[in-house]
Amino acid sequence: MNDARVLRTGRLVLRPVGYADLADLVRLKADPLVFAVMLGGVRTPEQTARELAEDISFWGAQGVGMWSVREDATGAFLGLVGLHGRPDGRGVALRFALHAVAQGRGYASEAAGAALRFAHDRTGLERVIAVARASNIGSRQVLGAIGMVQVESYERDGYQVLVYESVIPENVIRR
């Protein structure tokens, strides 16, 4: 069976997260090099399992969600990318996190760009946001590389946080 939610890029395969990804997600979300800068910080295995259940549910309710990111050639788990509702009510947000060994190789831009295109082209989401700490230059570069633009900022826990967005122009004909 062909799952239209599976995305392929030049080097990656993105599959909607599922319980088969739990062990990989636990390792990723427990890594302080990756998740210390995320909202909520490093996760316990129990938190990761709860978040996975929420991600699976979000797919069912919204038709978008989180994908596991794997290298196409080897199947190696690289990280996570996708869309989920922001807890602060700002809207549907693009999120991504890759293991440190996968960073700096263009994988985040490749995966995030595919997720953003899916959101706009296949689900018709007109506006997608993303947030990044001002000090997180890598994330900001990814967001700029995929065409998102900074539209506002705010302070959270002593950090300046930048809000980016991608909006489908009104004159674009949707499928």
The domain 7-167 is placed in CATH, from the list 3.30.1330.40, 3.40.630.30, 3.40.47.10, 3.30.360.10, at: 3.40.630.30
| 10-29 confidence digits (pLDDT tens) | 999 999 999 999 999 999 99
Would you state the pLDDT for residue 38? Answer: 79
Query: What does the pLDDT average to over 31-46?
Result: 88
pTM equals: 0.90
| 92-136 confidence digits (pLDDT tens) | 999 999 999 999 999 999 999 999 999 999 888 899 999 999 999
Q: Tokens 């705010």 belong to which residue?
A: 154
- How many percent of the chain have pLDDT more than 70? 95
d(CA 35, CA 162): 18
Would you state the pLDDT for residue 154? Answer: 94
For 115, the token pair is 């997720």
pLDDT at 37 over 80: no
Domain ranges of the chain: 7-167
| 61-84 confidence digits (pLDDT tens) | 988 999 999 999 999 999 999 999
pLDDT at 53 over 70: yes
Would you state the pLDDT for residue 170? Answer: 64
Query: Binning pLDDT at 50, 70 and 90, where does residue 155 land?
Result: very high
Q: What's the mean per-residue pLDDT of the chain?
A: 91
